Chains A and B, each alone.
Chain A
Amino acid sequence: MNKITLFFLQLIFFIVVAPFLSGLITKIKNSLRMRKGQSIFQPYYNLIKLFSKIQVVSETASWIFRVTPFILISSTLTVALLVPVFIFSNPLYRMGDFIAIIFIFALGRFFLALAALDTGSSFGGMGSSREMFIASLVEPALCLVVFSVFLQFGSTNLSVFSGMHAVSVSSLVGASALFLVVIAETSRVPVDNQETHLELTMVHEAMALEYSGASLALIELAAQVKQMIWFFLIAQIIFPITTLSLVNLKGLFSWGLWYLARILIIVITMAIVEVSVAKMRLFRVADFLGFAFVLGIIASICAILGA
């Protein structure tokens, strides 16, 4: 397969599958809550609806507000190209690693926070300040997970370490830390709550509150793609997949099954976590992400000790 085909294949894969994962989590949550709930495909319907709607832009908004959805979606899709999905190299091989991912995400976050301030709505300001507060706690924890990976595999390039299949104590602990971080990154309970209608409690949603139409669709899609990227990264660390053998069909089938199952495990875990705890008081998030930070340290120590 040549590079260009792979490049487009992976982009389309992320854009098409990401809303499904969101819909799946919502569906599982609703079943757990004894509800019928919306269709698994509702996120697609929402995106189609939003893309066909007229945008309303505040008169006081500057270019930052207009340009942010594009920066957000393009930065997120760039990260999507750094993650190895089909084979053990990503389409932009050697161009980026785990640390690059953290900073490319930070770019999108920075612009979204600016855009939320741009319209001058009080909710946007609240959302931005909370998002930055949470981000300042997320990033150190993430960096420690990256260190533990580096210490273990000698590289932070995802294409390099995802080919190595070894489940160690270090990667288990590191993946747990990553899971906590992902809860915060995907604005889920107990850090944030995607489902809430209460403007005063929102974090990510508050920043997107002023957006409508296609811009909102891009922001939602970016959030869904980002979530899928994180799920793939956790899966890569905690369930390293063996080399694909194309020898027989049976092997291919079981490989594919396991490939999907590990994502499903993360999705189900996420849904169960979301319905079984209450959202934390805002300043308790520091304790929660502090815990992720400590897990990151433990993962690094384990990696040094070779465990």
Chain B
Amino acid sequence: MDCPEVISSIKKSLPDFSALAVSQHYPDEIFIKVSPEAFKDTSMVLHKILPSPVMMLFAVDERKLTGVFTLNAVFVNLKQRQWIILNMDIPQENPYFDSLAKSIHSAAIFEREIQEMFGIQPKGNPDLRRMNLHDEVWPQGNFPLRNDFKGMVNGNLSEYKFNRVEGGGIFEVPVGPVHAGIIGPGHFRFSVAGEPIVNLELRLGFAHRGVEKLFEGKTCFDALRLSECICGDSAFAYSVAFATAAEKISGISIPQKAAYLRGIYLELERMYNHVSDIGGIALDVGFSFPAAYASVIKETILQLNEKLTASRYLKNVNVIGGVSGDIDDAKKLILFDALKKIKKDFNALVKMLNSSVSFMDRVDTTGVLIKKTAQDLGVVGLVARASGIPTDLRKYFPGVYSQAKFKMMTQEAGDVLSRLELRFSEFVESCRLIEEFTIKLSGSRDMQVNSVLKQESALGYVEGARGPVLCWLKTDAHGVIARCKLVDPSSHNWQGLSYAVLGNIIPDFPVCNKSFNLSYSGNDL
């Protein structure tokens, strides 16, 4: 679909639509600039006709250059394999925009973020409590992502207000942010009637490190290493998302071999994450033997990673323009040997879990996220696929995956078992993909690297283990990063968790949580 087609399909639903500017710098990105009055209606039309949740919604401070903030909403058109970026200007005096949150749920958290980081009011959003800048620490009036932010200004602190469920026999159970296990920080506020959960409110942001601010002022080469540190278990996915954005800006196309190598490492990352989650699910229902077995498989994969790239978590492997860690013939042998062992062990693990009645009783019908709820919330990635929504960037934006005949997996029920079985089948598919990619590895991976020296913006995206990792990058005239907006699949999916647990009993929460396995660090940024 090219630009006129998009415009005409919008016009079908919105007859008096007119864009201020339409452009297409890259084949997979369409940029539409609209007037502030038309922004909300156009977003709702795009949301409906594509159909797509708001994949990203973020502000950019361009006051130095043009005297305005800009607001960008990113939608994905899976069928046409395109991203649509809707843009509008927000004047710097009394900045506000019409909230989308009441019509499109997936926009809600982004609007809260824009409000706290830029001080731009989403008019009409019913929930404007701050998420990452905690009221107990950050006084009102600090907007750290504005360019003129110089450091925190002291002021009055306040307290976060939780939603309350009131009535006879309702108890509140606060859990966290410090947990007993080695996991990230998050506060969970359960309202329970006996054991069943009536409401769950999440409070995150404890791991907020100002990542997006850290990117600003760095060159793309420096920032690549930073991108690997955002979310430790998705280090490679993040670096690919970032590198793709940077490559699009500099006009580099990576050699075919590097594309295959990226595919291999991405799948290795997915495999260790999936098997670790499978073990985690078993452990959270007290099934310790398969949990121990899964940790052995995970360790095998991590050791394989180290042999291939000298990094267990695939850091320092990606570079802008290609991949530094090559797989030569000797390493191919190591890879095939390890895969053979991993597959054998994994089959035994699956068999063990599938044949245990006590285990199946715990995961079957637990923590159901029905398709309708998942769609309304704009849930993405693995969680969405387990609820029957066919969405996988590897299928719709395939790249090298088309050569390996990638098969997208989905499940229907949306319970813990579906998410578990989806991980089973994706793990097996990842094994197959790695073999296919490795066989096809040939040629040189020499890359051309131009330094990025132009003012441009681009969207990088990749399907990580949890779902789509998105990175929108904007550079200034010196090639230095002016704004980098990252969206982890977790930020879409945390809401899904709080709906999936409703009606389940409190002791089943940990296994529901583990089956989502969402990231704290990726969400809090």
Contacts and interface: CB of A to CB of B under 8 A. Distances in A.
B507 A33 contact: no
A279 B181 contact: no
A120 to B, nearest CB: 12
Given A280-B358, A281-B361, A283-B505, A34 B180 contact: no
Contacts, number: 82
B181 A122 contact: no
Contacts of A196: 286
A275 interface: yes
A277 interface: yes
Interface stretch (B80-88, B121-129, B152-160, B287-295): B287-295
B7 to A, nearest CB: 51
Contacts of A280: 358, 361-362
A249 B35 CA distance: 101
A277 B358 contact: yes
Contacts of B288: 29, 33, 189, 195, 274-275
Contact of A279 (B171, B174, B180, B286): B286
A129 B154 CA distance: 46
A189 B286 contact: yes
Interface in A31-60: 32-35
A278 B285 CA distance: 6
Interface stretch (A155-163, A198-206, A231-239): A198-206
Contacts of A296: none
Nearest to A189: B286
B289 A32 contact: yes
Contacts of B506: 126, 200
Which bracket fits the contact residues of B?
20 to 34
A198 B181 contact: yes
A197 B181 contact: yes
Given A33-B288, A279-B287, A201 B361 contact: no
B510 A201 contact: yes
Contact of A198 (B172, B194, B284, B289): B284
A84 interface: no
A189 B291 CA distance: 14
A278 B358 contact: yes
Contacts of B289: 32-33, 275-276
B223 to A, nearest CB: 36
A283 B362 CA distance: 11
Given A34-B292, A199-B180, A278 B359 contact: yes
Given A278-B282, A278-B286, A122 B174 contact: yes
B226 interface: no
Nearest to B195: A282
B334 interface: no
In this complex, the member of B172, B174, B287, B288 whose beta carbon has the largest number of chain A beta carbons within 10 angstroms is B288
A123 B505 CA distance: 14
A94 interface: no
In this complex, the member of B175, B358, B505, B508 whose beta carbon has the largest number of chain A beta carbons within 10 angstroms is B358
A29 B179 CA distance: 25
Contact of A200 (B356, B362, B509): B509
A138 B326 CA distance: 62
A125 interface: yes
Nearest to B282: A278
Nearest to B363: A278
Interface string B258-300: 0000000000000000000000001011111100110010000
Interface in B491-516: 505-510
Interface in B127-185: 171-175, 179-181
A240 interface: no
Interface in A172-216: 189-190, 193, 195-201
Given A33-B288, A199-B175, A276-B289, A281 B362 contact: yes
Contacts of B195: 282-283
Interface in A253-296: 274-284
A32 B293 CA distance: 11
Contacts of A193: 286
Contact of B287 (A32, A197, A201, A278): A278
Contacts of B293: 34
Nearest to A201: B507
A29 B286 CA distance: 13
A26 to B, nearest CB: 11
Interface string B417-448: 00000000000000000000000000000000
A234 B292 CA distance: 31
A298 to B, nearest CB: 23
B507 A281 contact: yes
B510 A200 contact: yes
Given A190-B358, A277-B287, A125 B180 contact: no
Contact of B175 (A32, A35, A200, A283): A200
Contact of A122 (B173, B358, B507, B508): B173
A201 B506 CA distance: 7
A195 B172 CA distance: 26
Contacts of A129: 194
A197 B282 CA distance: 14
A129 B192 CA distance: 13
Contacts of B180: 197-199
5 contacts: A33-B289, A189-B286, A197-B180, A201-B510, A279-B286
Given A279-B285, A281-B507, A282-B507, 4 more contacts: A200-B506, A274-B288, A278-B356, A278-B362
The 8 residue pairs across chains A and B that have the minimum distance between CB atoms? A279-B286, A278-B287, A197-B180, A33-B292, A278-B359, A193-B286, A278-B358, A201-B507
